[in-house]
A and B are shown apart, each in its own frame.
Chain A
Amino acid sequence: MTNGDSGMRTLTYRDAVREGIREAIQKNERVFLMGEDVGRYGGCFAVSKGLLEEFGPDRIRDTPLSESGFVGAGIGAALGGMRPIVEIMTVNFSLLAADQIINTAAVYLYMSGGQFNVPIVIRMATGGGRQLAAQHSRSLEGWYAHIPGIKIVSPATIEDARGMLWTALQDPDPVLIFENSGLYNMEGTLTTDAGAVDIDTARVCRAGKDITIITYSASLIKSLEAAEILAQQGIETEVIDLRTLRPLDDKTFLTSIAKTHRALIVDEGCRSGSISAEISARIMENVFYDLDAPVERLCSLEVPMPYAKHFEEAVLPQTDKIVSLVQKMVGADG
Chain B
Amino acid sequence: MADFIMPSLGSDMQAGRLVEWLVKEGDSVRRRDVIAVVETDKAAIEVEVYEDGIIESLLVQPGQKVAVGTVMAVIRTETGSIPVVPDEAPSVETPQVSTEPEGVAGPEREQSSPALPPSGTLRIKVSPYARKLAIERGIDLATLAGTGPEGVICAADIERATPITSTEPAVKTPPTPPTKAATEKPAAKNYQAAMRRAIANAMARSKREIPHYYLQTRIDMHRTLLWLASENDKRQIKDRILPVIPLIRAMALALTDVPELNGYWIDDRHQTSEAIHIGFVISLRQGGLIAPAILHADEKGPDELMAALRDLITRTRSGGLRSTEMTDATVTVSNLGDLGVETVYGIIYPPQVALLGFGKTMEQPWAENGMLGVRPILTATLAADHRATDGHRGAQFLDALDRYLQDPEKLCTP
Complex A–B touching at CB under 8 A: yes
Q: Which residues of A contact B (CB under 8 A)?
A: 210, 234, 261, 288-293, 328, 331
**CB-defined A-B contacts under 8 Å, sample of 29:** A210-B267, A234-B267, A234-B268, A261-B127, A261-B129, A261-B155, A289-B128, A289-B131, A289-B132, A290-B128, A290-B129, A290-B132, A291-B127, A291-B128, A291-B129, A292-B128, A292-B129, A292-B130, A292-B148, A292-B154, A292-B155, A293-B127, A293-B148, A293-B149, A293-B152, A328-B149, A331-B147, A331-B148, A331-B149
Are A289 and B269 within 8 A (Cβ)?
A: no
| Residues of chain B contacted by A328 (CB below 8 angstroms) | 149
Shortest CB distance B66–A (Å): 36
Q: Which residues of B contact A (CB under 8 A)?
A: 127-132, 147-149, 152, 154-155, 267-269
| Residues of chain A contacted by B147 (CB below 8 angstroms) | 331
| Residues of chain A contacted by B267 (CB below 8 angstroms) | 210, 234
* Measured CA separation A331–B269 after assembly (Å): 14
Top 6 closest pairs, chain A to chain B, by CB: A292-B129, A292-B127, A289-B132, A292-B155, A291-B128, A289-B128
| Residues of chain A contacted by B155 (CB below 8 angstroms) | 261, 292
* Measured CA separation A289–B155 after assembly (Å): 11
| Residues of chain A contacted by B129 (CB below 8 angstroms) | 261, 289-292
| Residues of chain A contacted by B149 (CB below 8 angstroms) | 293, 328, 331
| Residues of chain A contacted by B154 (CB below 8 angstroms) | 292-293, 331
* Closest residue of B by beta carbon distance from A235: B267
* Closest residue of A by beta carbon distance from B131: A289
Prevailing SS type, chain A contact patch = loop
| Residues of chain A contacted by B268 (CB below 8 angstroms) | 234
Shortest CB distance B270–A (Å): 12
Interface centre among A210, A288, A293, A328 (most CB of B within 10 A): A293
* Measured CA separation A212–B147 after assembly (Å): 21
* Measured CA separation A331–B127 after assembly (Å): 13
Shortest CB distance A13–B (Å): 37
Are A234 and B269 within 8 A (Cβ)?
A: yes
| Residues of chain A contacted by B148 (CB below 8 angstroms) | 292-293, 331
How many residue pairs link A and B with beta carbons under 8 A? The number is 35
* Measured CA separation A63–B81 after assembly (Å): 55
* Closest residue of A by beta carbon distance from B129: A292
* Closest residue of B by beta carbon distance from A258: B129
* Measured CA separation A221–B9 after assembly (Å): 58
Shortest CB distance B268–A (Å): 7
Are B128 and A288 within 8 A (Cβ)?
A: yes
| Residues of chain A contacted by B152 (CB below 8 angstroms) | 293
Shortest CB distance B158–A (Å): 10
Shortest CB distance B147–A (Å): 8
Shortest CB distance B61–A (Å): 45
* Measured CA separation A251–B53 after assembly (Å): 67
* Closest residue of B by beta carbon distance from A333: B149
* Measured CA separation A255–B152 after assembly (Å): 24
* Measured CA separation A162–B149 after assembly (Å): 44
* Measured CA separation A328–B131 after assembly (Å): 21
* Measured CA separation A293–B269 after assembly (Å): 21
* Closest residue of B by beta carbon distance from A210: B267
* Measured CA separation A328–B150 after assembly (Å): 11
Interface centre among B128, B130, B131 (most CB of A within 10 A): B128
Interface centre among B127, B129, B267, B269 (most CB of A within 10 A): B129
Shortest CB distance A105–B (Å): 27
Shortest CB distance A24–B (Å): 45
Shortest CB distance B125–A (Å): 10
Shortest CB distance A140–B (Å): 32
Shortest CB distance A236–B (Å): 9
| Residues of chain A contacted by B127 (CB below 8 angstroms) | 261, 291-293
| Residues of chain B contacted by A293 (CB below 8 angstroms) | 127, 148-149, 152, 154
| Residues of chain A contacted by B269 (CB below 8 angstroms) | 234
Interface centre among A234, A261, A292, A293 (most CB of B within 10 A): A292
* Closest residue of B by beta carbon distance from A291: B128
* Closest residue of A by beta carbon distance from B154: A292
* Measured CA separation A295–B67 after assembly (Å): 52
| Residues of chain B contacted by A290 (CB below 8 angstroms) | 128-129, 132
Shortest CB distance A127–B (Å): 32
| Residues of chain B contacted by A261 (CB below 8 angstroms) | 127, 129, 155
| Residues of chain B contacted by A234 (CB below 8 angstroms) | 267-269
* Measured CA separation A292–B156 after assembly (Å): 9
* Measured CA separation A274–B275 after assembly (Å): 48
* Measured CA separation A292–B148 after assembly (Å): 9
* Measured CA separation A288–B127 after assembly (Å): 9
| Residues of chain A contacted by B130 (CB below 8 angstroms) | 292
Known pairs A293-B152, A331-B149. 13 more at Cβ < 8 A? A210-B267, A261-B127, A289-B129, A290-B128, A290-B129, A291-B127, A291-B128, A291-B129, A292-B148, A293-B149, A293-B154, A331-B147, A331-B148
Shortest CB distance A58–B (Å): 47
* Measured CA separation A328–B149 after assembly (Å): 8
Shortest CB distance A189–B (Å): 33
* Measured CA separation A234–B132 after assembly (Å): 26
* Closest residue of A by beta carbon distance from B268: A234
* Measured CA separation A292–B128 after assembly (Å): 6
* Measured CA separation A261–B127 after assembly (Å): 10
| Residues of chain B contacted by A291 (CB below 8 angstroms) | 127-129
| Residues of chain A contacted by B128 (CB below 8 angstroms) | 288-292
